[in-house]
Amino acid sequence: MTATGKLADTRVKVWDQEEAEEVHHELYYGKFIDEEDYLELSLVEALHLVDREELQIEDGEGDVSRDDFFQRCSQIDDDFDQKYAAYSDLRKRGYIVKTGFKFGAHFRVYPRGVNPYKEGPKEDREHTKWIVHAVPENYNQSYQEMSRAVRLAQNIRAKMVWAVVDSEREVTYYRVDRVTP
């Protein structure tokens, strides 16, 4: 089944409950917005599902092609190209990938097969394993920026990973740890 998503600013909304359940159920794409009863997908999630032929995007004027949707996303988000390359690569490897916005990075990543929405006491819930930030291969950063990212990841017991995207959209991952003598 191919779900239908409605483009709404910087998100895609799946209103049909059966379609929303199917999209969300397998690998936890998107998040349910209970007040209005729909599944909300980020732009990278939506494009990944379009590429898997599991989602068709619509706007107020009709269907949106994959290339048009990619162009719109790139206009909304200057980092979209490398974010999408990293997101798609992580998903193809079977990881569960959610937004890392509150951690100052692009993504938080869970191991294969876990439920990031598991209920219960905090100690029984699944935790983020990696914080991932996607950057182009010519990216420059200061040691202070790197240190802040590593320490923030460490504070939530996760590992900081930079996803470096080259000009062919191939992704190489670099994990940086804090070492104390």
Asked if residue 27 has pLDDT above 90, the reply is: no
C-alpha span between 14 and 26 (Å, rounded): 15
Instruction: Give the 3-state secondary structure of 126-179.
Output: CCCCEEEEEEECCCCCCHHHHHHHHHHHHHCCCEEEEEEECCCCCEEEEEECCC
Report pLDDT for 37.
Answer: 87
Within 10 A of 165 (CB to CB), how many other CB atoms are there? 23
C-alpha span between 160 and 150 (Å, rounded): 5
Taking the CA atoms of 136, 103, 126 and 10 in sequence, report the sign of the dihedral they define. Answer: negative
19, 39, 55, 123, 140 from 81: Cα distances, Å? 27, 24, 19, 36, 17
Q: State mean pLDDT over 85-101.
A: 94
Asked if residue 118 has pLDDT above 80, the reply is: no
Q: Which domains does the chain have, with CATH numbers?
A: 3-76 (3.40.1170.20), 80-176 (3.40.1350.10)
Among 50-54, 99-103, 124-128, name the one with the lowest average pLDDT: 124-128
Residue among 93, 98, 80 nearest 31 (CA)? 98
Report pLDDT for 115.
Answer: 66
Asked if residue 39 has pLDDT above 90, the reply is: yes
Taking the CA atoms of 79, 85, 75 and 14 in sequence, report the sign of the dihedral they define. Answer: negative
Among 6-10, 74-78, 110-114, 132-136, name the one with the lowest average pLDDT: 110-114
Among 70-79, 120-129, 156-165, name the one with the lowest average pLDDT: 120-129
Q: Where are the beta strands (DSSP E) in the chain?
A: 3-8, 11-14, 31-33, 38-42, 55-59, 62-64, 96-99, 107-110, 130-136, 159-165, 171-176
Most confident of 34-38, 59-63, 131-135: 131-135
Within 10 A of 115 (CB to CB), how many other CB atoms are there? 11
C-alpha span between 179 and 110 (Å, rounded): 23
Calculate what percentage of the chain has a pLDDT beyond 70.
92
Asked if residue 69 has pLDDT above 80, the reply is: yes
Asked if residue 180 has pLDDT above 60, the reply is: yes
More confident residue, 179 or 141: 141
